[in-house]
Structure 1
């Protein structure tokens, strides 16, 4: 194996079969990481923006399922239910729908966590294999010169670099996007509280008007 440069492409081309597999897996993991990061950022920003607009009196947008669930729940009058109990029931149903919405939007976060924890070990496997290749070269050639050892060591370090390239963005993305989703979830929770109160009050007023008529 000849290494004319230390570019990732050159390292991949000159690596052995096992090294190529390890680097290819880590490269795919790195690409997938950035896809998940972009999806997570877009989803958290959209949900947070939708919650702020809805709380200010605008359309529900992405939170329309939550609003629809609240309207549907408020339309039922349970016997002996007080106004406070009805408000709690409506808020609980809306919160359940909100949690389902957030869980669906956060779908990529567990994958980021897996990549951030597994990628370094996959890279470490490539590192160990490269070092073993170096020792095998020494044993075969009966020579400990740098020319014999260097290719295997270079492959080992390249695998480590590929692993870090996948793990570091995944770890940072997981933590930052998780915090962003947490803030968006708080906005959704505030919207649920406000909307549950408004929906319940609106249905109570409408019911009393019907009774008076």
Structure 2
């Protein structure tokens, strides 16, 4: 009976909450920082995934609507004003087209083509930069969190050795709590880092798909307007 009570007490002493409460201020600070980093990471993962999903879906829908339209100018004044990546690329191209062609002067075809490509490329790049704005946070957490957790582990083990030296007792009962709380810091570091690294790669893949789609759409618009130039 006494042995069962001792085992239960030992188990409760090694629970995550107990390990946190037993840790000193340095290890506690490390644990709190890693937990906050984990919450921040999951916030970025969820919001970023939804934003990229919406951007990809809306851009595909916009492109489909564009190819169904028969009047570029009318489409520009309507759906072309939407705040979505494909619409921004389209609007940049049409705006540059209007500035270059509707001047009352002879049209510089080669110069216009170059400006169209630059305008739409810049618009696509700006949209990709906006969509990938917080990916650097995931990369930072993924690379730094394990080392922060390792720092907490090293500090906790140093404290455990200090306690062993002070008590002159090397039994497992004396050593285990301190080492357990130290290793718990490493576990929290991995808990924050692993989702961040996986999400970073997945979101980067989605951004690459959107970037490719925008550039292909921009090239298609460029070809359409280039054909119009031949009639100008």
TM-score range, shorter chain: 0.7 to 0.9
TM-score, length of structure 2 as denominator length: 0.80
**Which residue of structure 1 aligns with residue 125 of structure 2?**
99
Q: Which runs of 5+ in 1 are unaligned?
A: 209-213
**Which residue of structure 2 aligns with residue 159 of structure 1?**
185
**1:113–1:171 Cα contact (<8 Å) kept:** yes
Alpha-carbon displacement from aligned partner over 1:58-97 (angstroms, at most 9, x marks no partner): 5454033322211110012377755354233212211101
Name which of 94, 99, 103 aligns with 1:71.
Answer: 94
1:154, CA displacement in angstroms?
A: 0.9
**1:115–1:166 Cα contact (<8 Å) kept:** yes
12-21 or 23-32, which deviates more: 12-21
**1:90–1:200 Cα contact (<8 Å) kept:** no
**Which residue of structure 1 aligns with residue 167 of structure 2?**
141
Seen in structure 2, the aligned counterparts of structure 1 residues 48 and 93 have a Cα distance that, compared at 3 Å, is same
Distance in 2, matches of 1:81 and 1:20, equals 69
TM-score, length of structure 1 as denominator length: 0.86
**Which residue of structure 1 aligns with residue 74 of structure 2?**
none
**Which residue of structure 1 aligns with residue 158 of structure 2?**
132
State whether structure 2 residue 134 is matched by structure 1 residue 108: yes
Seen in structure 2, the aligned counterparts of structure 1 residues 7 and 180 have a Cα distance that, compared at 3 Å, is farther
**2:157–2:179 Cα contact (<8 Å) kept:** yes
Q: Which runs of 5+ in 2 are unaligned?
A: 1-9, 67-78
Distance in 1, matches of 2:14 and 2:203, equals 32
Any idea what SS the aligned residue of 1:143 has?
A: coil
Q: Number of aligned residue pairs: give it.
A: 205
Distance in 2, matches of 1:10 and 1:81, equals 76
**Which residue of structure 2 aligns with residue 195 of structure 1?**
221
Name which of 29, 32, 46 aligns with 2:54.
Answer: 46
The 4+ residue runs of structure 1 with deviation greater than 4 A are 78-82, 199-205
**1:128–1:156 Cα contact (<8 Å) kept:** yes
State whether structure 2 residue 195 is matched by structure 1 residue 169: yes
Name which of 29, 39, 44 aligns with 1:31.
Answer: 39
RMSD, aligned CA: 2.2
